[in-house]
Structure 1
Amino acid sequence: MRDRIRRNFLAGFLVIVPLGLTFYVVAAIVRWADRILALVPARFLPDTYLGFRIPGLGVILTLLFIQVVGFLSANLFGHSVVRAYERILDRIPVVRAFYQAVKQLLQQLIDARTDKFHRVVLVEYPRKGLYSIGFVTGLSKGEVQTRTPQRVLNVFVPTTPNPTSGYYLLVPEDDAVPLQITVEQAFKLIMSAGMVGWEAPDTTKARPSGRASEAPKGEPTPSA
């Protein structure tokens, strides 16, 4: 009886807490976006003419604004404007560093949801006997490749619980152990510090002899 109560409590806890946190974050974003509307003159707001407040209007207008900016920046004129203000920011030391850091962070987040991370591998890092999960971003080129005796992979090893930061490693191809999980599954595993796992296929402990970089892009590489 006690075990059943405990299991029911944990099951309910696992349902309510993520749901509550999700609603809390969404509500916070809506409130933040609505506060931005306070900067807009009242005569330009629909609330003035409708006679009632529209919840979430700030989010809608913010998304529309981002879409418009993205559309304008994609054409030749908008691209020229973006480059012009970036040149201005580059002349301001502190602002330049902050702007570039934020831009690189957002670009990294976007790349993480695209094909920039080809597949997931296991690398022996930070020392022999310890392993870390990494993402192959491509094959090393240039002087890095010519000065190494074998092919080297570019591997990004993210940190926990913030996977937007991490380490860039140059890993010999034969030392990168392919994993049969997707990039999304690997991110969940890293962000949860291993508490959220995945159903792994049947594998052996033997190190695969195939090359990690030769797997088809976007497809998991067999580990046996």
Structure 2
Amino acid sequence: MMDSDTRPSVLAQIRRNMLVGLFTLIPIWLTLILVSVILKFINELAAPMIKWMTVSVKPDDSIYAIIKSPFFNTSLSLIVLLLFFYLVGWVASRWIGQKALSFFEQTVDRIPVAKSIYRTIKRLADAMQTSSDNVERVVLIEFPSRDMKTVGLVTRTFKDTTTGRELAAVYVPTTPNPTSGYLEIVPVEYVTPTNWKMEEAMSFIISGGADVPKTFNYDRAPVRGEDLSKEEGRGE
């Protein structure tokens, strides 16, 4: 018969192992679902072309089996998808594409829910593709108070028209959904660079801080020529 002191520890170990197994499988399961959805979408892109290519080919021909194979289907879909991205990028960089995009955004702005979703996703996409020579892309800023810091993405840098002070527009994503967040305007000298890649920042945000490097830059290094007395006065 199992001792009363042993039973709770065994049950606790079983419960712990079950939880570890659950949390181990959840990200794998979600990843497989996402990959499955993406592959299904990609394969559907080439379906009309596959059907057109097999019209003039007999089923007993060797080329028919190649065309109908999943590998050919997926490869053709990827090529079509890449060409589509290129075409959209080419059109968007031209005058007619910018006019069409402007018309689309004006239409979306009239739809309350769609406007919010589109603007936040577009803001995040802009943050990922824009760059600045003066400020790191992934940074820490004091938010929501001076005693705390949060991860932000620098989307733009600009200057104060009165003082010429350099400012940064920092998008602060929320956890675990980075498509919603806050937009803060922060003086560049109060921005702390992290030396993180964008993927590392997204992983940190989506995982709720579970996926984070063992060390990273939390305290801002003094800027050469900076008036430290101003910094001390700011902390008082």
Q: Bigger radius of gyration, 1 or 2?
A: 2
Q: How does 1:128-167 map to 2 (within 5 A)?
A: 128-141=146-159, 145-148=160-163, 150-167=165-182
CA distance in 1 between partners of 2:197 and 2:49 (Å): 48
CA distance in 1 between partners of 2:206 and 2:35 (Å): 20
Deviates more, 1:185-194 or 1:61-70: 61-70
Q: Which one of the candidate residues 84, 109, 121 is aligned to 1:105?
A: 121
* C-alpha contact 1:135 1:155 (8 A) present in aligned 2: yes
Matched positions, count: 204
Task: Indicate the residue corresponding to 2:107 in structure 1.
Answer: 93
TM-score scaled by length of structure 1: 0.62
Q: How does 1:23-172 map to 2 (within 5 A)?
A: 23-35=32-44, 40=48, 43-46=51-54, 49=57, 50=64, 53-55=68-70, 59-72=74-87, 79=94, 82-83=97-98, 85-86=100-101, 89=104, 93-94=107-108, 102=118, 105=121, 108-109=124-125, 111-112=127-128, 115=131, 118-141=136-159, 145-148=160-163, 150-172=165-187
Question: How far did residue 194 of structure 1 move?
Answer: 1.4
Q: 1:188 to 1:48 in 2, by over 3 A?
A: farther
* C-alpha contact 1:161 1:191 (8 A) present in aligned 2: yes
Deviates more, 1:43-52 or 1:172-181: 43-52
Q: How does 1:8-19 map to 2 (within 5 A)?
A: 12-13=21-22, 15-19=24-28
Q: Which one of the candidate residues 177, 186, 191 is aligned to 2:201?
A: 186
Matched position secondary structure for 1:140:
strand
* C-alpha contact 2:136 2:194 (8 A) present in aligned 1: no
CA distance in 1 between partners of 2:77 and 2:110 (Å): 25
CA distance in 2 between partners of 1:158 and 1:102 (Å): 15
Given the alignment of the two structures, is residue 198 of structure 1 paired with residue 207 of structure 2, yes or no? Answer: no
Question: How far did residue 41 of structure 1 move?
Answer: 7.8
* C-alpha contact 2:46 2:73 (8 A) present in aligned 1: yes
Counterpart amino acid of 2:168? L
Q: What root-mean-square deviation, in Å, do the aligned CA atoms of Structure 1 and Structure 2 show?
A: 4.5
Counterpart amino acid of 1:199? K
Question: Gapped runs of 5+ residues in structure 1?
Answer: 212-224
Question: How far did residue 131 of structure 1 move?
Answer: 2.6
CA distance in 2 between partners of 1:206 and 1:68 (Å): 44
Residues 133-185 of structure 1: CA deviation (Å, up to 9, x unaligned) = 112345323xxx13358432232211221223322211123322333544332
Counterpart amino acid of 2:171? F
Deviates more, 1:184-193 or 1:124-133: 124-133
Task: Indicate the residue corresponding to 2:233 in structure 1.
Answer: none
CA distance in 2 between partners of 1:193 and 1:64 (Å): 35
* C-alpha contact 2:152 2:170 (8 A) present in aligned 1: yes
Question: How far did residue 99 of structure 1 move?
Answer: 9.1
Task: Indicate the residue corresponding to 2:223 in structure 1.
Answer: 210
CA distance in 2 between partners of 1:179 and 1:187 (Å): 13
